[in-house]
Structure 1
Amino acid sequence: MINESKQTLRVLQIIDDASIGGGQIHVLLLSKYLLSMDIKVTIATASVGWLVEQANILDIPVCPIDISNKITWRAFESIHRLLKIQDFDVIHTHGGTAGFWGRLVAKILQHKSKIIHSYHGLHYLNIFQNRQMRQRLKNILFKTIDQLTLNVTDHIICVCLSDYEKAITANVASPSKTSIVNYGIDIVKFSQPINKEISRKIFDIAPTEFIFGNVGRLHEQKGHQYLLKAFAKVSDRARLLIIGDGDLKDELIKLADDLQISDRITFLGARSDVHEFLSAIDVFVMPSLWEGQPIALLEALAMGKPCIVSDVDGISEVITNNVNGYLVKPKDIAGLTQAMNQSIDNPEVLKQLANSGVNTITEKFLAQNMAKAIADIYLTQII
């Protein structure tokens, strides 16, 4: 048992950005449930943002850092100061930027801490033919950095089998010191949706409207252009609401105009009220081109929302076609259209998919089980 150790385990979680996202939600839930096991947790992240606000609510100590994927003295000093002053049994880095700086500085300081690194989707391994040469070179650099820092890493955690296989193939992880620990979510929160009528008022949705919802950065990875093109062929009885912000915002708004569907699509921007959003929609749609294991999908399933998703990577480890959701090939506009129209016309099928989705979460993706598995990794490394 965790609390039978001779002294309290001290763990530092490092993530570069504090704005809301899958990695930040994971760090918060992991920290929350580690605390319930009498493990002392500190979070190092940007000085302001969603993660800082939520950590403060839970009384989790936060150390402000200022790091980026640019090589600067400021970034080095930000981590160096923290690791030199404070002593941790485990340093757990999340994502490429934190993984680079955390592991580099710990090595320079010859830290006695055990170094754990989590991959939250290996995005740099998904290089498409239309990528610019500059981006290709950056991806090669990120891969090389992960290969070099593997030597100073005690253990790697991948959030799904797909990431594990990609990491091993790319030599950024080794089978002997890599584990798969699926994401977990707080089922108590998402199994208690707020009243649908109330939630719809928040987003200006009429009670009888059929609503498709999407949550994700407005980025190439998330496949929004294919979603919009598919939705243009969906029954005009439906509307589409999208939560998220990103570089493609203006391009996607123009595409909606060109497809003459602007009156049926609402871009809501970045928001933190995903719980209310999921309560308001009828079907969750995620047409990603690649993924690790998206927390937004797990939250939608826990909320009892039928899901239409791309048959890629970690998504297909969660969704079984026609059992707990619909799987569609990536970039398959016709397939997306068919699945969305099918959803509108088959409420009884949607109910069955929703029930199976909730069962999937309770059986495989609970936050407390995720935290216990990671705590066991910490202890295995310490002992």
Structure 2
Amino acid sequence: MKLFYLITRSEQGGAQTHVLDLIRGFRGRADIVLGVGEEGYLAEQVRDSGIDVHVLPHLVQPVSPAKDWLALWEINSLIRKFQPDLVHAHSSKAGFLGRLAAYRAGVPAVFTAHGWAFADGVPWGRKIVATVSERRAGRWCERIITVSEADRILALRHRIADENTLVTIRNGIADTPRRAEPTNTDEPRIVMVARFARPKDQSLLIRALEGLNGEFSLSFVGDGPTRREMEALTANSSICHRITFLGARADVAELLAKAHVFVLTSNWEGFPISILEAMRAGLPVVASDVGGVCEAVVDGETGYLVPRGDEVTLRDRLKRLITNPDLRTRMGQAGRRRYEQHFTLDKMLNRTWQVYEEVLREHRR
């Protein structure tokens, strides 16, 4: 099988980690190439895995008609050169252009939606544009994989595609021997792993923690366009001495192993890999109840779900975990068991390969 993976950004993030896991998982079973809009983390990791990487310089965000047409030409050229059996596109821009190119070339396509741009919490203007474009692109592919059942239901409600086209395959990640091992005498360490962008809303976490007494520290892991703004907000905060910005890191598992609590304050999500990484490490998770987050975090058992933007509830749940080491341990262990039962990499790879085989069988008829 010849597989052509396509994604817009190469920075370290959930979608990029997902694509990297697919490529590494299938490289022994398929001939693979990656098309990506820029150099960076993903391109480097895929090359190091012995896979051909093609940088498509016009595949960029945001929408730019001139660049988009050139990106479509670049994708078309790569399809003609590689002659893939199947195109698997990720992210909105690559998903739209990749499906269009595959449709024109007569090549079956699969699209993975790592969350929808018409989800609750997204600005209305963006919702309208996303709904119209996704309805059109939904006609150009054989399957749309959603990473949570919540996203599948949302797509059906917005008439993106029919039930036979939409399939849920929740994210899964490889296990690691690293577990959270901080002692209860340590200062409670809170960590948030996320790109610095509007949907992630790191400012909510800063404001919530400003109202807490006692000892704790907070580490932000990640980079992105709103990082400087968050650093400026922190500099004027009463807890600035407790907050550290670590940037994008390759040693996330090691950082989680040294933490006590994981937090994700997103305004919208698909099914965050960072939450699975925290559960794998045995950390309790406090997260916004958006998208498919509730399919990973069991409220009151593996952590806490907080209404989107609810600073008061977020502060209360963090206080419970900061002040109760036994509760942290109990919830962290429950999260680890849930990861083992539902969110391993093998489960995701096996189901994804089944979808590939189904699509190719249907295409040959």
What is the CA deviation profile of residues 7-29 of structure 1, one whole-angstrom value per residue up to 9, with x for unaligned ones?
Answer: xx111111111111110100011
**Superposition TM-score, scaled by structure 2 size:** 0.91
Structure 1 position 97, deviation (Å): 0.8
Of residues 36, 41, 57 in structure 1, which corresponds to 2:32?
A: 41
**Paired residues of 2:180 and 2:282 also in contact (CA < 8 A):** no
Going from structure 1 to structure 2, the CA distance change for 1:218 and 1:47 (only over 3 Å counts) comes to closer
Give the corresponding residue for 2:18: 26
SS in 1 for 2:190: strand
Report how far residue 127 of structure 1 moved: 4.9
2:54 is aligned with what amino acid? C
Relative distance call for 1:208 and 1:232 in structure 2 (3 A) is: same
* Aligned partner of residue 125 in structure 1, secondary structure: coil
Q: Where does residue 123 of structure 1 map in the other structure?
A: 117
Q: Following the alignment from structure 1 to structure 2, what is the Cα–Cα distance between the partners of residues 163 and 85? A: 34
CA 1:313/1:139 → structure 2, altered by over 3 Å: closer, same or farther?
Answer: closer
Structure 2 counterparts to residues 1-383 of structure 1, below 5 A: 9-36=1-28, 38-66=29-57, 67-68=59-60, 69-71=63-65, 72=67, 73-109=69-105, 111=106, 113-127=107-121, 131=123, 136-187=124-175, 189=176, 191-193=177-179, 208-383=186-361
- Equivalent residues of 1:155, 1:178 under 8 A apart: yes
C-alpha distance after superposition, 1:127-180 (max 9, x if no partner): 55xx5xxxx444422321211121121111100011101111112222121110
Structure-2 separation of matches of 1:65 and 1:196 = 44
TM-superposed CA distance for 1:195, in Å, is 7.7
Kindly provide the amino acid, as one letter, of the partner of residue 28 in structure 1: L
Contact 2:194 2:200 in 1 (8 A): yes
> How far apart are 1:337 and its partner, in Å?
1.4
Contact kept? 1:34, 1:372, Cα under 8 Å: no
SS of 1:251 mapped into structure 2: helix
**SS of structure 1 residue aligned to 2:211:** coil
Once superposed, what is the RMSD of the aligned Cα atoms? Answer: 2.0
Deviation at residue 193 of structure 1 after TM alignment: 4.3
Q: TM-score, normalised by structure 1?
A: 0.87
Structure 1 residues 340 and 55: alpha-carbon distance in aligned structure 2, compared to 1, 3 A threshold: same
SS at match of 2:191: strand
SS in 2 for 1:41: strand
Asked whether the equivalents of residues 158 and 179 of structure 1 are also in contact (C-alpha less than 8 Å), the reply is yes
Q: Are 1:184 and 1:368, in contact at CA under 8 Å, matched by a contact in 2? A: yes
Structure 1 alignment gaps of length 5 or more:
1-8, 198-206
Can you list the C-alpha shifts for 1:73-115, whole angstroms capped at 9, x where unaligned? 4312221210111111111111111111111222333x2x211
Contact 2:148 2:169 in 1 (8 A): yes
Q: 1:361, 1:155 → 2: CA distance?
A: 26
User: What's the CA shift for 1:31?
Assistant: 1.5
Give the stretch that moved more between structures: 258-267 or 315-324.
Answer: 258-267
1:319 aligned partner, one-letter code: V
1:264 alignment partner AA: R
Mapped to 2, the partners of 1:57 and 1:88 lie a distance apart of 22
Q: Report how many residues are paired.
A: 355
1:286, 1:309 within 8 Å by CA — same for their partners in 2?
yes
Distance in 2 of aligned mates of 1:287 and 1:99: 26
CA distance in 2, matches of 1:53, 1:194: 28
SS in 2 for 1:285: strand
2-structure distance, mates of 1:267, 1:39: 39
Structure 2 gap ranges (5+): none
Instruction: Go from structure 1 to structure 2 and tell me whether the alpha carbon gap of 1:171 and 1:324 turns closer, same or farther (over 3 Å shift).
Output: same
Residue 112 of structure 2 aligns to a residue whose secondary structure is strand
Aligned to 1:323, the other structure's residue is in SS state: coil
C-alpha distance in structure 1 between counterparts of 2:5 and 2:120, whole Å: 26
Classify the secondary structure of the residue corresponding to 2:292: helix
Which segment is superposed worse, 217-226 or 23-32? 217-226
Q: Which contiguous aligned blocks of 4+ residues in structure 1 show a shift greater than 4 angstroms?
A: 193-197
Given that residues 306 and 354 in structure 1 are in contact (C-alpha distance below 8 angstroms), is that contact kept between their aligned partners in structure 2?
yes
